[in-house]
Amino acid sequence: MELNLERPRDYLFVRHADAHTVVVVDRPFTASILLTRDKVIDDWNIADVAAMTPAHVEPILALEPDVVLLGTGARQQFPSQAVLAAFLQRGVGVEVMDNAAAARTWDILASEGRNAAAAFILS
């Protein structure tokens, strides 16, 4: 039996994610990023979930997702109640998880064509 690698062509997929790096398709990122099915925003200026404010949520909400996957580094760390409220006030679901889990979940949601965004906090 012959095995062939098939890469998705209709969305951006995460190949690897940890606390310091996210590899989208074949491009590594070492600073925090926002991700949709068709674009990477690599100027999201946050390096620690504890420093996250509602202002950091605005670029994510501008993408108009139905749900956001918030990758918080090597382990799951919840942002402040004010940050979570910023999502909920706009009717956007947010799932908080470590970066590796966010990457796995992202690849599933993106492959299903879901209107999602992923936010990876890298240190």
pTM of the model: 0.92
Residue 100 lies in a domain: yes
Contact 106, 81 (CB under 8 A): no
SS3 category, 100: helix
* CATH number (domain holding residue 100): 3.40.1230.10
Q: Walk along the chain (123 residues) and give the pLDDT tens digit of each residue.
A: 665 555 566 799 999 999 999 999 999 999 999 999 999 999 999 999 999 999 999 999 999 999 999 999 999 999 999 999 999 999 999 999 999 999 999 999 999 999 999 999 999
- Using CA atoms, how far apart are residues 65 and 74, in angstroms rounded to an integer? 24
Contact 99, 18 (CB under 8 A): yes
Residue 5 lies in a domain: no
pLDDT for res 10: 77
Residue 6 lies in a domain: no
Report the domain count for the chain.
Answer: 1
Host domain of residue 51? 14-120
Residue 1 lies in a domain: no
